[in-house]
Chain A
């Protein structure tokens, strides 16, 4: 607990302005109201209500099996790929309920992208991987595609490493590079939100650092929701943190508050490592 405080204080000493002074009203990008989810009989998410703001990094932490990844996957409706799933409640993305049958899931996923735990590039060239999103949406102009490739790879901090071998197979890249390629692929369709499901848990420490730096840079243009097992990571890169336990949101507040002065005892127990 003391070390955690110490780390946070160090962060503050680097001259970061307290956010209350220049507060710009941030809009809500995801508004979850009383979301319940069942895997068959198992009640996986219980009355989850959460507001995610634009241009912020929101971290979701909690022990294994608490529903973090499940919640993340409902935000872009990837959870529907599991046939036994039932939901109730609503999730509003830009004022429209995405759980409504009439909301086209393809449209949602164009604006809400996802990066998975294990890097999953396609068995195609690096170039083809990045333009995949653009191609499926009908973009064929060669010049435009080339621009998209360069822009996305630069944003993902991968351009310099691959610019001379864009047409090589993506499987020739290292794990960390593959994950950044997946991030570039996601950025190429210019979504509003990027969902990240434990993006660095399969990577080595240096790649992890690179991805974390990336996340901090990306939040200026995008909104990011990141599920992580690594509490230090959450403390390092996120603005807000939500603590999930057994399918419920126990506490949701600014990261500083959660890690220095949590309200709920269960949060404190988890953060100090007493369980999980």
Chain B
């Protein structure tokens, strides 16, 4: 009555187990390879740049001589850029997500909008640079200011924030909304008191991911016309400035070899900034996730 040939099962067993192990090793190797690349990168950057990291580096402006080159203008410039981009993109992005998830009727038009927003996330950043140049720099006459750059970067990261905020809001269980409506709360009260607090971990993660991308983008800023060499700090959002990635690029394109080390030091600072931003995101997420 047996349909399964026990002998051939046992014969096949060894080759199946071997195949299983081969794939395990392959996946592990892929991981090791990636970690290796990352390790080499970090090692290279740190070994070249650490020596140049000293107080002067943070206090000086850029200079034609590598010993005197400092990151002050670029660092402060990047922080200015983030300080304006973050609120604009987060407020606009989360508001859009709230509208799309809570208020918009489900029909072809809104589906069309949602698809377009997801697609915008994949548009090359230089296109946003062109958009920013046309609208903010020329039409609104903001010139090459912090404001023009920040608005351009906001447009760049907006789709990512919208999509991740939508996911976070959608993940809030329906039962919580029902409980709120059941007590006579209005839609707005339910959103502010129940939905948003529950969605904050997801929103924060998405926002930081988006901003991390913004801090490293150079192409759109080049198009908008942000200079690479600046020896002063911006005083208002209407002043011009420079950012870390542009400064680093400037240094790497210099002929003197010493500038490569300066650039490496700049990269370390950029990485440090990224880590701080991620740490803030993790902190915010944990603070609101304890509730669960």
Complex contacts, B183 vs chain A, CB 8 Å: 109-110, 113, 132-133, 136, 185-186, 189
Name B175's closest neighbour in chain A (CB-CB).
A120
> In the assembled complex, how far is the CB of residue B202 from the closest CB belonging to chain A, in whole angstroms?
14
Within 8 Å by CB of A124, from B173, B181, B189, B291, lies B291
On chain A, the residues within 8 Å of B181 by CB distance are: 78, 81, 109
Q: Does B178 contact A (CB under 8 A)?
A: yes
Contact yes or no, B175 A133, CB < 8 A: no
Does B186 lie within 8 Å of A78, measured CB to CB? no
- B170-199 residues with Cβ-Cβ distance < 8 A to A are 173, 175-176, 178-186, 189, 193-194, 197-198
Confirm or deny: A171 has a beta carbon within 8 angstroms of a beta carbon on chain B: yes
Q: Is A114 an interface residue (CB 8 A)?
A: yes
- Cα distance A123–B199 when bound, in Å? 11
A124, B280: Cα distance in complex, Å: 23
Interface presence of A107 (CB below 8 A): yes
Alpha-carbon distance A182/B176, docked complex (angstroms): 11
User: B176 is contacted by which of A110, A114, A122, A186 (Cβ under 8 Å)?
Assistant: A122
Interface presence of A116 (CB below 8 A) = yes
Residues A136 and B185 in contact in the complex (CB < 8 Å), given A120-B176, A122-B176, A171-B292: yes
- Contact of A49 with B by CB under 8 A: no
Using C-beta atoms within 8 Å of the partner chain, give the interface range for chain B: 20 to 34
Is A76 within 8 A of B182, CB to CB?
A: yes
Choose among A109, A135, A137 the residue that contacts B182 (Cβ–Cβ < 8 A).
Answer: A109
Closest to A188 in B: B183
- Whether A78 lies near B184 (C-beta < 8 A) is no
Complex CA distance for A160 and B44, rounded to whole angstroms: 64
Q: Name the interface residues of A100-115: CB closer than 8 Å to any CB of B.
A: 106-110, 113-114
Residue of A at shortest CB range from B290? A169
CB distance from B290 to the nearest CB of A (A): 8
Interface size in chain A (residues, C-beta < 8 A): 29
Contacts of A109 in B (CB 8 A): 181-184
Closest chain B residue to A80 by CB distance? Answer: B181
Within the complex, the shortest CB–CB distance from A182 to chain B, in Å, comes to: 7
Contacts of A110 in B (CB 8 A): 183-184
- Point out the residues of chain A lying under 8 angstroms from B198, CB to CB: 123
The residue in chain B whose Cβ has the minimal distance to the Cβ of A128 is B193
- Do A116 and B179 touch across chains, with their CB atoms under 8 A apart? yes
A106 touches B182 (CB 8 A): no
A118 at the binding interface (Cβ < 8 Å):
yes
Count the A-B residue pairs with Cβ separation under 8 angstroms: how many?
A: 68
Q: What mask results when residues 103 to 145 of chain B are scored 1 for a CB within 8 Å of chain A, else 0? A: 0001000000000000000000000000000000000000000
Task: List CB contacts (< 8 Å) of A127-163 with chain B.
Answer: 132-133, 135-137
Please report the C-alpha to C-alpha distance between residue A135 and residue B186 in the assembled complex, in whole angstroms. 12
Are A120 and B291 interface neighbours, CB within 8 A? no
Q: Mark B144-180, 1 if CB is under 8 A from A, else 0.
A: 0000000000000000000000000000010110111
With a CB–CB cut-off of 8 A, which chain B residues contact A106? 184-186
Interchain CB contact under 8 A, B184 and A122: no
Q: Which of B106, B175, B185, B291 is within 8 Å of A118, CB to CB?
A: B175
- Pick the residue among A122, A133, A169 that contacts B194 (CB under 8 A): A122
Contact among B178, B184, B185, B290 with A116 in the assembled complex (CB-CB below 8 Å): B178
What chain A residues lie within 8 Å of B106 (beta carbons)?
83
Does B291 contact A107, Cβ atoms closer than 8 Å?
no
In the bound complex, do residue B193 and residue A116 qualify as a contact, i.e. CB atoms below 8 Å apart? no
Specify which of B173, B175, B180 is in contact with A132 (CB 8 Å cutoff): B180
Task: Provide the residues of chain B in CB contact with A123, threshold 8 Å.
Answer: 176, 197-198, 291-292
Measured in the bound complex, the distance between the Cα atoms of B183 and A132 in whole Å is 9
**Closest CB-CB distance, A14 to chain B, in whole Å?**
36
- Whether A182 and B184, one on each chain, are in contact in the complex, defined by CB atoms closer than 8 angstroms, is no
Q: In the complex, what residues of A have CB within 8 A of residue B194's CB?
A: 122
Nearest residue, chain A, Cβ from B189: A136
Chain A positions within 8 Å of B189 at CB level:
136
- Residue in B closest to A104 when the chains form the complex, CB atoms: B184
Roughly how many angstroms separate A133 CA and B194 CA in the complex, as a whole number? 12
Residue contact A120 to B178, C-beta cutoff 8 Å: yes
Chain B residues lying within 8 Å of A189, measured Cβ to Cβ, are: 183-184
For A182, the chain B residues whose CB sits under 8 A away are 179
Chain A's nearest CB lies how many Å from the CB of B196? 12
Which of B178, B179, B186, B290 meets A81, CB within 8 Å? Answer: B178
Nearest 6 interchain pairs by C-beta: A109-B184, A123-B291, A120-B175, A110-B184, A114-B182, A133-B183
Please give 10 more A-B residue pairs, beta carbons under 8 A apart, in addition to A121-B179, A169-B290. A83-B106, A106-B184, A106-B185, A116-B179, A120-B175, A123-B292, A124-B291, A133-B183, A182-B179, A189-B183
Can you list 26 A-B pairs with a CB-CB distance of less than 8 A?
A78-B181, A83-B106, A106-B184, A106-B185, A108-B184, A110-B184, A113-B183, A116-B179, A116-B182, A118-B175, A120-B173, A120-B179, A122-B176, A122-B194, A123-B197, A123-B198, A123-B292, A133-B184, A136-B185, A136-B186, A136-B189, A169-B291, A171-B292, A182-B179, A185-B183, A186-B182
Chain A residues near B (Cβ < 8 Å): 76, 78, 81, 83, 106-110, 113-114, 116, 118, 120-124, 132-133, 135-137, 169, 171, 182, 185-186, 189
Chain B residues in the interface with A (C-beta under 8 A)? 106, 173, 175-176, 178-186, 189, 193-194, 197-198, 290-292
